[in-house]
Amino acid sequence: MERSMMTVQRHILEQERTYPQASGDLTGLLWDLTIAAKRISHQVNRGGLGDIFGETGEENVTGDLVRRLDRIAQDTIYRAMDHGGHLCVMVSEESPDLVRIPAKYPKGKYVLIYDPLDGSSNIDANVSIGTVFSVHRRISTAGDGTMEDCLRRGSEQVAAGYFLYGSSTMVVYTTGQGVFGFTLEPSVGEFMLTHERIVTPPKGKYYSINEGNVSGWDEPTKRYVEYLKEKDPATGRPYSLRYIGSLVADFHRTLLYGGIFLYPSDHSNPQKPKPKLRLLYEVAPLAYIMEQAGGAALIGGERALDIQPTSLHDRVPIVMGSKQDVAQYEKFLGESKPVRAAARDGKTDGATKDSKNASTRFNSTSILET
Ligand code: AHM
Ligand code: MG
């Protein structure tokens, strides 16, 4: 099929068909999600013309102020996904507990985990924002999905992606067979293939971090960012700083242009480092996409996709981007090896070892780099 005529729906279907036992369920699920995203995109595009700006006056489970558009996005996705028969349970940034499928609807074999509208502090200023999603196959066998179905490592995802509401609306997704990007063609209301097999450059020239937080960074991160700013044309330095403060937008640029995105913990209280980004619906899906595009993603020096969540809203420190840039950052982390080793062995506050499968467990305040 001519590339310009490839819709996201057809693409997902063709990807699913390469699996012998495919039932079409994943295609249906992702298709429902694109419908929700088109509706959110429409609202975002109306901007100040609609009654979407401002706050609702409430805080969500992770302490952020809920904006009207957050609420609209949450409701839109929930209503698009609750009745299709593809899902057994959902998890959303906007909901403290599991989001159940109503009793009257059939339960399916997948779990949907999502951040309905990430970067919402940017909404009123017309800055790019996004929806992030992660899909797992359920472990339980029937009925409502369980907590165990949701607390899964990123490496177990069957699909992940994001919608970017920017100068155009895009969806970028992977089902483990590469990363593909589609742009919403407003005249026909379809996402058309525009970015076939996205590959992140092995090395970039941008770094992306909230540098206003420097006083709270761990020492390796401080040294690494100083290194990026030194002048050494032979190694492509200095790097340029690019930071939007909207994860999907910062990630999308890093994915396409290469470079490195970092959101380290705040170590202002060294006893209790505070990471910001959420593992299940922000970090894990983006880490999966980054790896599928040939890049790398680390949490405290460990592969991000191997981290076992302990609760729905775990926060983790994250570094992701071009392979060589992430490897360079790792070298700086390596200089503080004793601390990393202690953390890996469960001797540092907040990190314990999952003895069953020898993978690092994090709780919401854990971090390896110090
Ligand atoms: P949100 O889920 O409440 O929108 O918060 C997550 C956002 C990300 O989009 C972005 O990467 C980060 O927070 C920016 O944080 P900061 O303003 O601390 O740099
Ligand atoms: Mg978010």
Let me know if the fold of 3-195 is the same as that of 206-359.
no
Is pLDDT larger for residue 252 or for residue 1? 252
Lowest mean pLDDT among 19-33, 256-270, 333-347: 333-347
Ligand 1 pocket check for 211: Cβ under 6 Å = no
What value does the mean pLDDT of the chain take? Answer: 88
Q: Given ligand 1 and candidates 213, 246, 260, 319, which is best to mutate, with the most ligand atoms within 8 Å of its CB?
A: 246
Highest mean pLDDT among 112-121, 239-248, 335-344, 349-358: 239-248
124 is catalytic: no
Of the residues 16, 32, 115, 291, only one is catalytic, namely 115
Q: Which of 3-12, 93-102, 245-254, 346-355 has the lowest mean pLDDT?
A: 346-355
Owner of token pair 């996709």? 305
Does a cis peptide bond (omega within 30 degrees of 0) precede residue 270? no
Question: Out of 16, 32, 94, 218, which one is annotated catalytic?
Answer: 94
93 catalytic per annotation: yes
- What Rg value do the Cα atoms of the chain yield, rounded? 20
Report the percentage of the chain scoring pLDDT > 90: 75
- Can 64 be counted among the known catalytic residues? yes
The residue annotated as part of the active site, out of 26, 117, 262, 368, is 117
Contact (CB, 8 A) for 74 and 131 = no
Q: How far apart are CA 325 and CA 228, in angstroms?
A: 10
161 CB less than 6 Å from ligand 1? Answer: no
CB 331 within 8 A of CB 311: no
Task: Answer yes or no: 115 catalytic.
Answer: yes
Whether 211 is a known active-site residue: answer no
Strand partners, 172: 162, 181
* Of residues 276, 283, 262, the one with CA closest to residue 329: 262
Best CATH choice for the domain 3-195 from the list 1.10.150.110, 3.30.540.10, 3.30.1330.20, 3.40.50.920: 3.30.540.10
For residue 73, which amino acid is it?
A
Q: Is 58 a known active-site residue?
A: no
pTM for this entry: 0.89
- State yes or no: pLDDT of 359 exceeds 90: no
Catalytic residue, from 16, 70, 302, 325: name it: 70
DSSP bridge partners of 134: 113, 160
Longest dimension (CA), the chain: 64
pLDDT recorded at residue 1? 53
pLDDT tens for each residue of 39-88: 999 988 887 676 666 666 666 666 665 678 888 899 999 999 999 999 99
Q: Domain-by-domain residue ranges, the chain?
A: 3-195, 206-359
- What architecture (CATH level 2) is domain 206-359? 3-Layer(aba) Sandwich (3.40)
For residue 117, which atom of ligand 1 is closest to its CA? 4
Q: Is the CB of 246 under 6 A from ligand 1?
A: yes
How many angstroms separate the Cα of 167 from the Cα of each of 33, 155, 315? 20, 32, 29
Judge whether 169 and 184 are in contact, CB under 8 Å: yes
Task: Write out pLDDT tens, residues 282-338.
Answer: 999 999 999 999 999 999 999 999 999 999 999 999 999 999 999 999 999 987 654
**7 vs 16 pLDDT, higher one:** 7
Q: Which amino acid residue places its CA nearest to atom 2 of ligand 1?
A: 118
